[in-house]
Structure 1
Amino acid sequence: MEARDNPLIRAAGALSEIGDQPPMIALSVATGLVGVVRRDRRMIRVGVRMLAAHAIATWTKQAIKAGIVRTRPATAEKQGYRSDTGKDTDHAMSSFPSGHTAGAVAVAQVVARDYPAAALPVRSAATAVALIQIPRAKHFLSDLVVGAVIALVAERLASMLVDAVDRRIDTVKPVPEGSTRP
């Protein structure tokens, strides 16, 4: 039996789908909305940063995948390994880099930055999402490493952008009611 066919690996793989794009987007939006309901500015900012970091990581991952063809491990076992520049729309040929890793690590880093007490559990969860891809034969280790690097850069960029906008909002003075100034 292949490792990927082991029931525990299959179950962990199913759980790792939290790192896919729709769940990460939903989690980010939900975090921001909970912040709105609670009137918790920090949580709103975290939700926005989660969404921004995930978007930057996803766009970067997609740009790289658009120019690199790399066989996924399960396909390589059957059809041979291929790694080259170019484009191939076949999912089996889009191993590099890992999008699950990029998205999960980017979102975890945002949460860890603003909620340090949650750093260990969220980073551990993101690491688990990434590492299970190897026995599932979805990705090679280098796919995960590059996905994680993309995530770290994406989180930093998103944090800088959102924090800059947040500072700008803080400097804008509200126009007094009844004022005629523009």
Structure 2
Amino acid sequence: MNEPRSPAAGREDGAAAPGTEHRVRGRLLVASALLIAGFLLTFPLDFSAYQALERIDHPLFQQAAQQFSFWGDYFPGSVLVSVILFTGGLLARNRRIRSAALASLLAATCAGLSVDACRFSFGRPRPYATAAAAALQLGRAPEVKVSFGRTRPGTDLPDGFYGPVGIHMFQGFPSGHATSSTASAVAVLPLVPEIGIPLTLLAAGVCWSRMELRQHYLSDVAVGALWGALWGIGFGRLLLGRLPPRPKPAPASPRHAWLERKRGQSR
């Protein structure tokens, strides 16, 4: 007599479970919607944010921004965070911290590589770019492929996507620093929030520094940070799911609870 077969047994080895494909598609749609919304909401504020930073500019801000940008890059920033976390996890014999280090490094690496491919391909000019400087480096005048129909006051280079131009001043969108620093920090949040929260605040400082140094517009930084956060959430949740749950605190003994009630009544 043939035994009944489970639905899982009827699938070929390696086949996706029912609904997995729909979940993946749904998450991709949500991620795409967040990135598009982030760009559309911040794009109109690009020039006003740029001008606001110019009005309040100060040498101290520039010095702080340079430090944030240096330490907030993939190397040394994201790599250093992962090394310190992993070393601390080894010394403390804490698997959760070691997992946070791995999640941070994987998120920053994948987010950084993917965003580099995007910014090389899009070819959006950085805020400091000018037509003369671009022509000098390229040996020809750059041609915009997708024009945004605007030019920032103070420059003569129309804003838009110029395609894979291949020089640094046309690698503005999205911000690589914002992407890798945010990915590195957000990946730690679900695993070790007491470390992830300060790292996230530092990543916000990195995002500010890229605008303060006139390397990126607000929309460049916003989309980069969103892209990094998505990778950070993904790897953080993935590594969290491989860990045993944190032990719950032991319930108080009856005598301890009685003493606490007496102490409360005497106040």
TM range (shorter): 0.7 to 0.9
Partner of 1:66: 120
Partner of 1:42: 96
Partner of 1:139: 216
Task: From the superposition, tell whether residues 85 and 160 of structure 1 become closer, same or farther in structure 2 (CA, over 3 Å).
Answer: farther
1:33 CA drift (Å): 2.2
**Rounded Cα–Cα distance in structure 2 between residues aligned with 1:165 and 1:149:** 25
| Amino acid in structure 1 at the alignment position of 2:71 | I
Give yes or no for the alignment of 1:20 onto 2:73. yes
| Amino acid in structure 2 at the alignment position of 1:157 | G
SS in 1 for 2:123: strand
Q: Are the equivalent residues in 1 in contact too, given 2:62–2:212 (CA < 8 A)?
A: no
Q: Are the equivalent residues in 1 in contact too, given 2:65–2:212 (CA < 8 A)?
A: no
| Amino acid in structure 1 at the alignment position of 2:215 | K
SS in 1 for 2:128: helix
Partner of 2:182: 105
| Percent identity of paired positions between Structure 1 and Structure 2 | 26
1:138 CA drift (Å): 0.6
Partner of 2:86: 32
Question: How do residues 1-182 of structure 1 correspond to structure 2 at under 5 angstroms?
Answer: 6-16=58-68, 17-23=70-76, 24-76=78-130, 77-163=154-240
The normalised TM-score by structure 1 is 0.80
Q: Are the equivalent residues in 2 in contact too, given 1:25–1:51 (CA < 8 A)?
A: yes
**Rounded Cα–Cα distance in structure 2 between residues aligned with 1:159 and 1:112:** 7
SS in 1 for 2:161: strand
Please say which of residues 81-90 and 61-70 is displaced more in the overlay: 81-90
Q: Are the equivalent residues in 2 in contact too, given 1:4–1:136 (CA < 8 A)?
A: no
1:135 CA drift (Å): 2.3
Q: Are the equivalent residues in 2 in contact too, given 1:19–1:129 (CA < 8 A)?
A: yes
1:117 CA drift (Å): 3.1
1:5 CA drift (Å): 7.4
Structure 2: tracts of 5 or more residues without a match = 1-53, 131-153, 245-267
1:115 CA drift (Å): 2.6
Q: Cα RMSD (Å) of the superposition?
A: 2.4
Q: Are the equivalent residues in 2 in contact too, given 1:3–1:9 (CA < 8 A)?
A: no
- Higher share in helix: 1
CA offset digits 1:91-111 (Å, max 9, x no partner):
111010011111111111122
The normalised TM-score by structure 2 is 0.56
